[in-house]
Amino acid sequence: MAKKNAVAEVASTSSRARKATSDYGAGSIQVLEGLEAVRKRPGMYIGSTDERGLHHLVYEVVDNSVDEAMAGHATRIVVTIHPDNSIEVSDDGRGVPVGKHSTGKDALEVVHTVLHAGGKFGGGGYKVSGGLHGVGVSVVNALSIKLRVESARDGYVWSQEYSRGVPTTKVVKVSPSGSRRGTTTRFLPDPEMFETTEYSFETLANRLRESAYLNKGLWLTLIDKRADREATFYFQGGIVSFVRHLNRKRKVTHDRPVYIEGVEGTTSVEVALQYQSDSWSETLLAYANNINTVDGGTHVTGFRAALTSALNDWGRKNGAMKESDPNLTGEDVREGLTAIISVKLVDPQFEGQTKAKLGTAAVKGIVQTLVNKRLTQFLEENPADGREVIRQSLNAARGREAARKAKELVMRKGALEGSALPGKLADCQERDPAKSELYIVEGESAGGSAKQGRDRRFQAIFPLRGKLLNVEKARIDKILGSDNIRTLITALGAGIQDASMEDGNGKFDLAKIRYHRIIIMTDADVDGAHIRTLLLTFFYRYMPAVIEAGFLYIAQPPLYRISTGKETKYAGNEKDRDLAIASFKTKNVSVQRFKGLGEMNAEQLWETAMNPENRVFSQARIEDAAVANEVFEMLMGERVEPRRDFIKAEARKVQNLDV
C-alpha cells in the first residue's frame, strides 16, 4: 500500500532555516498600496474564500444599509440576486456623501477605495453602527470584478464604477433624483478570489430575516431573478417575534414572551425570553449593534446574573421555593430558556477582530439592573407563570444533582480522564494533535477493515458498538452512563462541555483534544445516516468547540466500484457511476454497489476514504446557530409532530432510499 506521501512533512531542516534567514532582508518587505492587501489576503477581511466569505460580501453592504436604518434614515432594504450571480443592494437612506474630500478625491470614491474610511469613526455620521472598522464596502469592491454604486442625494443621482477596487470612471452626476433617495450598490464577485460565486437564497434569507427581527419596523426584501422567487421580512414585534419563531414548534411554559426594553444614557437594551417545557436545552442569542456576539460578553453576563437573582428572590418571597430547597443556579434557571438579547450602544468594545464577544464593561450593570427590575415586575403580575418556571428550574436542579453524582461515579472509575485509553480505540503513533486523525466508524466489521487499511502513523480508529444514544432526549447522567459516549469522550481527551461539569473534572478543554481531524465515517444507507446524525447531535450539544474549530469532518466513501478488470473507478452517486461506465471503451464492465463499509477490503477503504490524496470530506460547520439548534431539536427531540411534518414536506426530494 502506497502511503509514503500520506503524512505531510512540516519541519524544515536547519540548513533550510539558515538559507531562509539569509534571504530575508530589506528587499523582502512589501508595501501593498490601496486595496492590494485585500486581494493578497482576503481571508483576513472576510474570514474565508469559500461560501461563507462569498456571502459575507453581501452582509458587508447590507450592514451599511442597516446602519442607516438604526440611525433613523432608512426604512427599506432590497437585495437582488441577478442571473449572473451579481448582487444588488438598495436602500432608501441618505445616500453616500459626494463632493471633494480632504484627500483630494471625491468622498464617494474614498469610501469605496480606501480601507478604514467611513462615517463611523468620529461619531458625527453614525451614533450607533455595526461596522466600526470602515473596511466593509471597500473590501467588497476589491474582491469584485466590477462594482457600480449610485447615490441619490442632494437632488441628484451620482454614480461611479470600479473593477477589482480600481475606479474605471469618475464620479458623475447621472440625473435628477426626484423622489428617489438612498444608495444602490451592484457588484459581481471575482471568481479568481472565491471557490464558488453561486449565491444561496436560503443563506441570504436567513440573514435578512435575522436583521428584520433585530430592527423592528424595517422592511427587508430578497429577490432571486435566477429562479423568480422573492421573500420579504418585516416584524413589528421585533425580537418578541424572533422568540416566537424559535419556539414555534415547541411546547412553551407561558404563551406570552417576556419583553424588556429600556435606555440608559446612550445605551438601549432589548430582551425577549420565553421558557419551553419540552426541551432541556438553552437557546440564547446575543447581539450588539446587530452583530451576533456568538461568544457572549458583558451583556450576556449581566442578563444571566439578573435572571438567576430575580427568580431566586421572587421564588423565596412568594413561597414558590421551600426553605429546604437550595438556591437555583444559573444552569438551573436557563434550562429550557429561549432568549434574545440586543444592545445598541455608542463605540462598543469587542474582544478580538471577529467581534464575537462584547467587552464594554458598563453594559453589564445596565442590562443587569434593567432585567432584574422588569423580570421581577413580570413575575409579580403573572404569578402562575412564575411558579411554573420555578418548578421547572427546581426539576433542573434535581437533574443536575443526579448528573453530579453520576459524574463522580464515572470519575472514580477513571472513565473520562487519565492515561488509560479505551481498549476499542486503535490509536495512531503520532502524538502531535495537528497531524493526527480519528475515524469514528460504524461497527466492528468496518472497524476491522479500517484498522487494516489505515496508515497507523497518523490515523486512529474508533469503532462504535450498536446505536449511539440520542443525547437530545437524555440528561447528562444517562449520557455519561452510555459506554459508547463515555469511551469516545475518553478517546478524544478534552472532556465534555456541560453546565454540570463546569466545576472541575471533566470540563471541556479544546487544548487537550488529541486529534485535529475527527472523521465520522458511516455506511451510505439509512442506518449510517442515522448514526451520523446521532454523532453530529452529540458534538453539537456537548462539544460545539470542536465544530467551531473546524476539527469535525464527514467522510464520503463511494457507493459504487466500476471495473473492467484492468482499470477500476469509484463513484459516489448514479450520475458519476454512469459517467465512469461511459468512459470505458468496453462493454465488459463490472459494477459493485457497496451497502456498507464492511463490504470493502482494507485496500479499497484506504484508496477511497482514507488516503489523503483521494478521499472526499465534508467539513461540519455551524453557519447559523439558531437554524442549527432548530434542526437538531426537530430531528432528534421529544416531539414527534415537527419531525413528521418535516418528513412529509421533504419526502419527495429523497433519492436512492435504501429500503
Measured from the Cβ of residue 520, the count of other Cβ atoms closer than 10 Å reads 25
Helix, strand, or coil here: 96? coil
What would the grid cell of residue 628 be?
A: 442549527
C-alpha span between 159 and 472 (Å, rounded): 54
C-alpha span between 502 and 496 (Å, rounded): 9
Helix, strand, or coil here: 205? helix
Task: List the one residue out of 580, 578, 553 whose CA is nearest residue 564.
Answer: 580
Beta-strand pair 517-521/552-555: parallel
What would the grid cell of residue 506 be?
A: 471533566
Helix, strand, or coil here: 44? helix
- Do 136 and 60 touch, CB atoms closer than 8 A? yes
Q: Which residues partner with 310 through β-bridges? A: none
- Do 482 and 634 touch, CB atoms closer than 8 A? no
Read out DSSP for 633-659?
A: HHHHSS-SHHHHHHHHHHGGG--S---
The sign of the torsion formed by the CA atoms of 630, 632, 637, 639 equals positive
Helix, strand, or coil here: 150? strand
Kindly report the CA angle at 460 between 458 and 464, in degrees rounded to 5?
165
Task: List the one residue out of 485, 478, 552 whose CA is nearest residue 513.
Answer: 552
Q: How many residues are listed for the chain in this entry?
A: 659
Phi/psi of residue 228, each to 5°?
55, 55
Read out DSSP for 527-570?
A: HHHHHHHHHHHHHHHH-HHHHHTT-EEEE---SEEEE-SS-EEE
Active site residue ranges: 442, 523, 525, 527
Read out DSSP for 261-324?
A: EEEETTEEEEEEEEEBSS----EEEEEETTEE-TT-BHHHHHHHHHHHHHHHHHHHHTTSS-TT
